[in-house]
Structure 1
Amino acid sequence: MEIIFQVAFILLAGAATWLFSKNILQIRRNILLGRDEDLTDQPAVRWNNVLLLALGQKKMFKNPLVAIMHFIIYAGFIIINLEVLEIVLDGILGKHRLFTAVLPAGLYRFLINAFELLAVGVLVVCVVFLARRNLLKLKRFMSKDLNGWPRSDANYILITEILLMGLFLTMNACDTLLQQRGAEHYAASATGNFAFSSFLHPLLGGLSADALTLIERTCWWLHIAGILAFLNYLPYSKHLHILFAFPNAYYTRLQPQGKMENMPDIQKEVLYAMQPELIPAEAAENHKKFGAKDVFDLSWKNLLDAYSCTECGRCSAACPANMTGKKLSPRLIMMKTRDRAEEVGKNITANKSFVDDGKTLLHDYITAEELRACTTCNACVEACPVSINPLDIILQQRRFLVMEESSAPQEWNGMFSNTENNFAPWKFSPDDRDSWVSEV
């Protein structure tokens, strides 16, 4: 019977690993649809960003209470995976609590007690976060940005975390009770009781050894199957940021916030307009597109940003345009960019290469009205806990609107015309610029 369970576990783990790898590779392909961008300079600074922003969650601590609760869930996810390693090895090798034979008894008990402490912390915090979303109904969680699947996604994850932690504690409680009764397969572990699961003993103590074994094995299988299912749910969920926050922090742009990219190609266009004789013969054939119309025109870092988005809404909550009722929502900009990248990826999977579907990120997903509402204040960039830059995507699409489609509000066109003719945004002749001195 034991060999059947081993084979079943190996097949389950293998299938889950294969499916996860397949989905992650597809996401990687989608990200690399973007144009190339070199973000490998200053590695020491980049590793510092990984340490502070991704691992240390530095930006989250602007709200200390929420940051601590989020850190408990985060630490639980990272550290409890050490316990998962033992479960996986037990499943493959047909053992029970394999590490008790490797680690000193005191150290093993300390580790499991620490895991249980984290499990209780994760369970409590998930309940609190569920209440914040569904009872307190915080404004950024009630936004229409999250209508439909995105709102359900967050609740499903929190409920899953609660169930997984409950299964872990119940499994340990049954295990230690069976040890006390000298049950075969359990007595050899001799771990003694654990700090938190022992509180479940009064609820389970009246059950027979067979019933306890059934509950313990059921919890064991559901716990590891739930973790493998959670792993494969990540590529379809906003919780992919659990993995992508680290590369996103490393590859974040290091220039000061607010510094806009100066495009030499635009400078050349202006120069050629003023001095046509300088236009190279091959210039017409090698015309470079200005700005971004679709995901292919964005950089791979823009697309990594989109897949790293936590949908927390801090960017939109900080956005002055959004606060004043404008259509712009930086969070929605990232969600729509990811949706378009996903659609393009499915197109490529189905057709082996991209077949024009008559859609583009600009216009079909993101409207000119949204883009023009942006004040370029960088509040969204500053607010993001995982170093996402919605502003860069907005600016690139707005650049395409103006320079490729000649689409701009009348007020902008007036400013452009004044700048071209008067070298300033105002409708005054350069010769009259110092006239105010004579009026003093």
Structure 2
Amino acid sequence: MLLQVIFLLISIAAITFFTINVRKIARNINLGRPVDRSDRPGERMMVMLKVAFGQTKMVKRPIAAVLHLFVYIGFVIINIEVLEIIIDGLFGTHRIFAAPLGGFYNVLIASFEILAALVLFGVIAFLVRRNILKLQRFTGVEMTEWPKSDANIILIAEVLLMSAFLTMNAADYKLQLMGAAHYTPGGSFPVSGLLSPLLPESQGALIVIERACWWFHIVGIFAFLNYLPYSKHFHILLAFPNTYYSNLEPKGEFNNMAVVTNEVKAMLDPSFVPAPVEEGGRFGAKDISDLTWKNLMDAYTCTECGRCTSVCPANITGKLLSPRKIMMDTRDRATEVGNNIDRHGKEYKDDKTLLDTYISREEIWACTSCNACTEACPVNIDPLAIIMDLRRYAVMEESQAPASLNNMFGNVENNGAPWKYSPADRLNWRVES
């Protein structure tokens, strides 16, 4: 009974802390401006099923796609087994589903074991790619010690969890063969059965190993759950809503700001009465409160995989821009603002902003707006939307733009075209016959 009470308290604490942290992230996301993404629900559902569930954008890099599929499917399905562990922990039972499910239970456990082995293979391969092969896209100025450590912590945690699961089953299998009390026969063990000869023959030692691995596995899962909100691996949860709320308009189609549109219409037609517009007080964005909630959800969904940066033509040619850094900086700033609210209240203002403090002017003007980053992202994150809003602020609020663009703006204003020539001279290139 004491162990059951301890398990209950651990479960309640883990779920409580996780809920608190998730609510903080939701609060941070809602610091952004409103934007309507409730249209075309059928099309949105199909995008989510294809991109988030189906992993269709991962296949552009086949090796990574296969390895990720092992980890993704294996880790999700194996955690179905957590339901049985929780029931066993609360009621002091052991493999409670074995009797009612009969032969199907054997199929389930065998499937879980095979998937656990595939997860181990995939995770070890990812560790090798990051730390031994050192793939280029896992580097960059934004990939400081914490992002690198974060990835390794998650991968090592998965190795330990899967190893504990298989070791637990190996000891359980051996105890079942011995006819140990409480270890009623149930399950099929194609992987851990191969490991069982490596374990001691003492029944007492096997029970200690099985129980230790059982506790390590479930407490490890609770710890993993509470680590997610602090990690890039929160995309495990946010990838699904983020892809559902994807921008369904053609890539490269930019929205005009309703405030600006109304101003122009009023200039052209004095009788025009603009409808109320729900937008911030600025043109474009200087800080996270000027971005939309979808921009901030993108930032918290970022997997830091580097696919966006690896295809960015500006980054490839040595310019400062890294789309991955744009998303990481936005997430860091949103987290900082949220922490300030927790410590000092909603009215607290620090002397920092997303633009200039986190993201430099050189970065935003290096962007070619080609959308390669958005196309490459496996969870439909849109760094370009943030870059364009930061540019809008620089131009429309501060009148600060590179000299080449200021020349172009002047030509458009004076000549109706980006070139310096008068409209009357546009046809001078023709040769009269």
Is the shorter-chain TM-score for this pair beyond 0.5, marking a shared fold?
Answer: yes
CA contact (8 A) 1:344 1:354 kept: no
Say what the alpha-carbon RMSD is for the aligned residues.
1.9
What's the CA shift for 1:437?
2.2
What's the CA shift for 1:269?
4.0
What one-letter code is carried by the residue in structure 1 that aligns with 2:364? L
Alignment-derived partner of residue 230 in structure 2: 236
SS in 1 for 2:412: helix
Alignment-derived partner of residue 219 in structure 1: 213
Alignment-derived partner of residue 5 in structure 1: 3
TM-score, reference length from structure 1: 0.95
Alignment-derived partner of residue 155 in structure 2: 158
CA contact (8 A) 1:347 1:354 kept: no
Alignment-derived partner of residue 248 in structure 2: 254
**Partners in 2 of 1:303 and 1:209 — Cα distance?**
54
What one-letter code is carried by the residue in structure 1 that aligns with 2:226? N
**Partners in 2 of 1:179 and 1:96 — Cα distance?**
12
**Partners in 2 of 1:320 and 1:439 — Cα distance?**
43
Alignment-derived partner of residue 372 in structure 2: 379
What's the CA shift for 1:375?
0.2
**Partners in 2 of 1:25 and 1:258 — Cα distance?**
33
Q: 1:197 aligns with which of 183, 192, 199?
A: 192
**Partners in 2 of 1:288 and 1:147 — Cα distance?**
35
Q: Check 1:89–1:287 CA distance in 2 against 1; reply closer, same or farther (3 A cut).
A: closer
Alignment-derived partner of residue 182 in structure 2: 185
Alignment-derived partner of residue 149 in structure 1: 146
What one-letter code is carried by the residue in structure 1 that aligns with 2:207? T
Alignment-derived partner of residue 413 in structure 1: 406
**Partners in 1 of 2:272 and 2:187 — Cα distance?**
82
1:81 aligns with 2:79: yes
What one-letter code is carried by the residue in structure 1 that aligns with 2:305? C
1:14 aligns with 2:9: no
Alignment-derived partner of residue 25 in structure 1: 23
Alignment-derived partner of residue 429 in structure 1: 422
SS in 2 for 1:214: helix
Within a 5 Å distance, the mapping from 1:61-100 to structure 2 comes to 61-100=59-98
What's the CA shift for 1:22?
0.3
More displaced stretch, 345-354 vs 166-175: 345-354
More displaced stretch, 190-199 vs 215-224: 190-199
**Partners in 2 of 1:40 and 1:195 — Cα distance?**
47
What's the CA shift for 1:76?
1.2
Alignment-derived partner of residue 325 in structure 1: 318
Q: 2:172 aligns with which of 172, 175, 186?
A: 175
What's the CA shift for 1:352?
2.8
Q: How many residues align?
A: 431
**Partners in 2 of 1:178 and 1:214 — Cα distance?**
11
1:103 aligns with 2:98: no
Could you report, residue by residue, the CA deviation over 1:338-396 in whole angstroms, capped at 9, with x for unpaired residues? 00000000011112314010111111111111000000000000000000000000000
CA contact (8 A) 2:312 2:373 kept: yes
Within a 5 Å distance, the mapping from 1:132-143 to structure 2 comes to 132-143=129-140
**Partners in 2 of 1:403 and 1:192 — Cα distance?**
66
**Partners in 2 of 1:279 and 1:255 — Cα distance?**
28
Alignment-derived partner of residue 53 in structure 2: 55
More displaced stretch, 56-65 vs 159-168: 56-65
What's the CA shift for 1:311?
0.2
Q: Check 1:183–1:389 CA distance in 2 against 1; reply closer, same or farther (3 A cut).
A: same
CA contact (8 A) 2:110 2:188 kept: no
Within a 5 Å distance, the mapping from 1:363-378 to structure 2 comes to 363-378=356-371
Q: Check 1:393–1:41 CA distance in 2 against 1; reply closer, same or farther (3 A cut).
A: same
Within a 5 Å distance, the mapping from 1:110-149 to structure 2 comes to 110-149=107-146
CA contact (8 A) 1:292 1:399 kept: yes
Can you give the 5+ residue segments of structure 1 that lack an aligned partner in the other structure? none
What's the CA shift for 1:221?
0.1
CA contact (8 A) 2:44 2:244 kept: yes
